[in-house]
A and B are shown apart, each in its own frame.
Chain A
Amino acid sequence: MTDRKIRVLIAKPGLDGHDRGAKVVARALRDAGMEVIYTGLRQTPEMIAEAALQEDVDVVGMSILSGAHNALVPAVIDKLAEYGLDGVKVFVGGIIPEDDVPGLMEKGVYAVYGPGTDTQIVAEEIKAALSQSAN
């Protein structure tokens, strides 16, 4: 009988130095029973993909406050694919203008969360995203 736990990488790409939001989400997901790997500030797409590979995570959550999401998110998703991690689900949190959301979703992000999102929703949608791909 296998008992797989959901493993999530919470990453802070880019140069902004605020990781309060990232830490709040990380703790909430832990409290939802997940194993959360947190890697700290200023991660390059390469570092994120490396960590995702070594940790074999199911989900990567990126927190971006710098406004550079339109560059960073596609870069991370491309790196993940390059590493053979196409199956990994990606969500984005932070300050993301409404207009940018469709572009990010098209690139393969399954959800974008603004500041103040109920963390329980983040946890529920991770489970939903994973059970969908399992079918």
Chain B
Amino acid sequence: MTRIDPDAIRRGDRLALSRALTAIESNDPAGQAALAALFPETGKAHLVGVTGSPGTGKSTLVNQLARYFRQNQSPKPPKVGIIAVDPSSPFTGGALLGDRIRMQDLIGDPEIFIRSMASRGALGGLSHSTAAFATLMDGAGYDLIFIETVGAGQAEVDIAQLAHTVIVVEAPGLGDDIQAIKAGILEIADILAVNKADLPGSENAARALRMMLEMAHGKGSLPAAGKHLRSGSPIGQEVTQSLDQGWDPPVQLVTATEGDGIPELAEAIQSHQAYLQSTGLWQAKEAFRLQKDLEALVRDTLMEHWREQVDEDRFAEVLTDLVHHKLSPAEALQLLL
């Protein structure tokens, strides 16, 4: 087991942070130990999810946003963390992590930390360790943390749960017809960015999105930010009242390669943060996420305990009967618990 000094992470030692991230990702207990030491100081960072189909320009956009926040926020620009998640190959377990290619501008700024991560078998677009990465960066003093992830399947739910603010990135001409956008992606969007505004079709895409949003949200319905809080949140009841002020997800046209529309997008991010804080949704989201994390942890731990104590032969026997349809799954469960 490696040893990681939480004080070094606090002091801004980036190698210590980097090693802690690796430890977390590798299930090395040193990672959780560092996280536990820092945890009391965390919960401050603004987590911004950036999701969308492959190639829409998420990395280019994050690059511009990070640069903008570093250069234009006075008096003290935020320290910016970036977590870029790409899928692992389900066959080899390997991964090609290429998001940094678009973030070369940011290298050399010691207050920006970029970490690529592979999803490592997690179903969604996030890895099991992504939330812990964000917490460690938060503990290391990063104020604004972007989490880039390809939007696919379960990923949408995951990123909506983890991030305070979700930016969904669309782009024209990807063959991925705007009309075909799943309702799911609209539901999680706090901000919609239509990137590649320099290309034909972007205006139309933005218009179509605005229309779809209007239909989805309508008058008097819950804003997106509240929707995924509704079920199971311990303090969900209290916050639904304050939701009346609502948040209408803006649709912003941007050209990430040129930087056009970046100031407006940055402003939307800050407005959303202010909205969350003024309505109590910030805390509600935090509570909801921690509850979900805890539940997942309990589930994994119970599963592991069960695996350790289950009799292999017995398991094989029951499995065989199940496969031969002599037992139903529920009956098999009864025999194994």
Contact = CB atoms under 8 A, between A and B. Distances in A.
Contact of B93 (A33, A47, A85): A33
A135 B304 CA distance: 30
A3 B129 CA distance: 13
B15 A84 contact: yes
Contacts of B100: 37-40, 51
B96 A27 contact: yes
A54 B94 CA distance: 19
Interface string B82-107: 00000011001111111011001001
A51 B151 CA distance: 25
Interface stretch (B111-119, B182-190, B195-203): B111-119
Contacts of B301: none
Interface in B17-38: 18-19, 21-22, 25-29
B108 A26 contact: no
Nearest to B114: A54
A80 B19 CA distance: 15
A55 B96 contact: no
Interface string A108-123: 0000000000000000
A54 B27 contact: no
A81 interface: no
B70 interface: no
User: Which of A35, A53, A85 has its CB near the most chain B CB atoms (within 10 A)?
Assistant: A35
A47 B107 CA distance: 6
Interface string A95-119: 0000000000000000000000000
A34 B120 CA distance: 11
A38 B94 CA distance: 13
Interface string B61-76: 0000000000000000
Contacts of A20: none
* Interface of chain A: mostly helix, strand, loop or mixed: mixed
Question: In which size bucket is the chain A interface?
Answer: 20 to 34
Contacts of B120: 5
Contacts of B97: 35-38
B94 A47 contact: no
Nearest to B23: A2
A30 B96 contact: yes
Contact of B107 (A1, A32, A37, A50): A50
Contacts of A33: 92-94
Contacts of A51: 100, 107
Interface in A31-79: 31-40, 46-47, 50-51, 53-56
B230 interface: no
Contact of B15 (A37, A39, A53): A53
Contacts of B118: 5, 35
Interface core residue of A4, A39, A46 (most chain B CB under 10 Å): A39
A29 interface: yes
B131 to A, nearest CB: 19
Nearest to A29: B94
A84 B27 CA distance: 23
A32 to B, nearest CB: 6
Contacts of B98: 37-38
Interface string B27-69: 1110000000000000000000000000000000000000000
B116 A55 contact: yes
Nearest to A38: B98
Contacts of B108: 46-47, 50
Interface of A: 1-5, 7, 26-27, 29-40, 46-47, 50-51, 53-56, 83-85
16 contacts: A2-B28, A4-B26, A5-B26, A5-B118, A31-B92, A33-B93, A33-B94, A35-B118, A37-B97, A37-B116, A38-B98, A47-B108, A51-B107, A54-B18, A56-B19, A83-B15
Given A36-B97, A40-B104, A55-B116, 11 more contacts: A4-B22, A5-B25, A5-B93, A27-B96, A31-B94, A33-B92, A36-B96, A38-B97, A38-B98, A53-B15, A56-B21
The 6 closest A-B pairs by CB, nearest first: A30-B94, A40-B101, A56-B18, A4-B26, A2-B28, A56-B22
